[in-house]
Structure formats: structure tokens, C-alpha cells
Structure 1
């Protein structure tokens, strides 16, 4: 029976030190940390490593539930998996303890609010993009695919889509999209 900590921040300019300090003070023997979005578990290798390592009777400690997951589905999946293995989840800054009914209820409420906050942020971002487009200042991201080079390789070098994709490090579907645009009537 041991205490393990998980710390996460969303971006490289944020600092993990305060979370790690809090988890150490809570008695965590091992702390895994990462800088990654909490919107999903994709790419969160430290969390997965920790989840694979925990055993029955262990306790996973986070400072706040939103450090673990920002989606109610992800949170519920993680908590379900922990419960199935006999692992307790606790949060240092919130009254979350999955061994108690009140702690479980509070966990569910926090998960709903974390997802709500993520959805609000996404809506504000989309509204900002729409406003920038209306003002004519939104450029979008720069294209990753050099359409001119795709066309040159296809026409001048007589390369097929697979060879072009391999040479440019892009997907074949991207090559076909560029070539299909050329065939569309103006």
C-alpha cells in the first residue's frame, strides 16, 4: 500500500513545481509528471505508465481532479479502472476520496465542471476565430503541404501518389486532395 502522485500542466510555460511539492507533502513516494493537454489521454505517457504500475491497495493522489482529466468520460474511465483494481483516488485541494460516498459524489461534480470549463474555452476560442475572420485578420495555420511541389513531382517527375507522399513525408490522401483540387473547375 503506497501513495503515488500525478502532476500535469497544459503547456511548456507552466510550472509543475508547486504540484510536485504538494504531492510530496501528501506522502507520495513516486510522482509522475508531464506537460500535456488534459482534454484526452492521448500522448499522456506518464499517466499511462502510472496507471499500469498501480496495484491493489495503492492510492493515486492529484492536487485537483482537472489535473487527471478534463473530460467527464476520461475521468469516469480512469476512476472506473482504478476502482476495479482496488486503487483509491484522492485530491489534495478538493474533498475527493473514492473510498467514501461523499468523495465519489464530489468527484463526479468536479468532473462535470472541468468538462464544462473545457467546452466554454473551446466556444470562446471559436467565437474569437469567427470574429477575427469577420475582421479579415484571421490567417489560420500555415499549410503543411507544399502543393506546388506535389504538382511538380506529379507532372514533371511523373511520380505516383505513394512516392510523392513518401518523399514529402505526408499522407497519400493529402497528395490526392492537392491533385483533385487541380481537376476541379474554377
Structure 2
């Protein structure tokens, strides 16, 4: 059985074009979300469509961007459908995972998504390494200055001050101050 899913992002957009195309493609049931962004995790129409699918069924969309928030999300969703023995069809892109050619196109898309994820990760690591080489600190700024941390550590270790009192004075949790002092002692 073919089950259709249609989505538009804003109130003034119409579902008619998508629904007509899904009916012509032979969809027996059509679920939709109106005025719901593709980036939204809460898409009740999509949830109902996915819940109604049985093994051997086909989920049909007018275009890929109607279904997935991103290429990565789309790949995950199609893989999940595949594990349930549910096929996927996109009318505009002519993808049909029930055919060997459709599966090939989809697997190429999945490989591209993985490649893009890998490139982003490599660029991020390279950028962080370059910043470290020129002495730029990565991450959040320290809560305490070096002088404040030195003073706090001295108060706890040499003056007998309670860790909780010193932490409170600096607006920190005692565990946080202990971690900062230990990191300073161990040169981290």
C-alpha cells in the first residue's frame, strides 16, 4: 500500500499540488502537516504516517525536502524504514527504494551525507588546531582569573579555609572549584 506525506511550512502555502501528485501516484492514505517547518521535531502528520506503515508499504513524498530536516536526517529516516521493510518513493527526484536503481541513488546520497559530516569534522579539528598554534584559547573563558584561582587555592591549602566557603565567595559550586584547583596543580 502507498502512503503519502505532504508538508508546507507556512499558513499561506497550500498542500493541493502535493496532494494531487500523491493521489496520481496511487497513495491510498495521505497524511500532512500544515504550517510546520521541516526543522521541527514535532510533526504530527509525519508521525501518523510513519506509525501507519507496515512491511511492504511505500512512503511517498512529492519532494525529498518535504520529509527530512537535513540530508543526514533523511538518510536516517529512510534507513529506519528499510529495517521495517518499508519502501520510499520521492516523486520529483524519481527515487524509489523498491527498485535497484532507486536504492543505488539513495545509497549514493547516504555516502555523500557521511562525506559531508566527515569534512565538517575535519575542518573543525583543523581550525581548532590552528587557533591553538597561535595561542588562542578554545572554549569558554575561565570563570576565575589566574590570580583569583591562585588566591583560592592558597586559602584552601595553606590558610585552612573551607572549600565551600571559598567557592561561595567566588559564586562557584565546591566541586567546580576543586576541579579548577586540581587542574591548576596538574598543569591542565
- Taking structure 2 as the reference length, the TM-score comes to 0.54
CA distance in 2, matches of 1:106, 1:37: 26
1:108 deviation in Å? 5.6
| TM-aligned CA distance change 1:24 to 1:38, over 3 Å | same
CA–CA distance in structure 2, aligned partners of residues 93 and 108 of structure 1: 18
CA contact (8 A) 1:95 1:106 kept: no
- Note the residue ranges of structure 2 that are not aligned, 5 or more in a row: 117-188
CA shift for structure 1 position 109: 6.1
TM-superposition CA deviations, 1:126-175 (whole Å, max 9, x none): xxxxxxxxxxxxxxxxxxxxxxxxxxxxxxxxxxxxxxxxxxxxxxxxxx
Residue 37 (structure 2) pairs with residue 37 (structure 1): yes
State whether residues 57 and 86 of structure 1, in contact with CA within 8 Å, keep that contact through their aligned partners in structure 2: yes
Question: In terms of Rg, which structure is larger?
Answer: 2
Q: Which runs of 4+ in 1 moved over 2 A?
A: 99-102, 104-113
Report the CA distance between 1:110 and its aligned residue: 6.3
Cα–Cα, structure 1 residues 73 and 18, in superposed 2: closer, same or farther, change >3 Å?
same
SS of aligned partner of 1:14: coil
Counterpart position of 1:51: 50
Give the C-alpha shift of residue 98 in structure 1: 1.1
Equivalent in the alignment of 1:123: none
Residues 8-27 of structure 1 mapped to structure 2, 5 A cutoff: 8-27=7-26
Kept in 2, the 8 Å contact 1:65–1:110? The answer is: no
Structure 1: tracts of 5 or more residues without a match: 117-186
Pairwise CA RMSD: 2.1
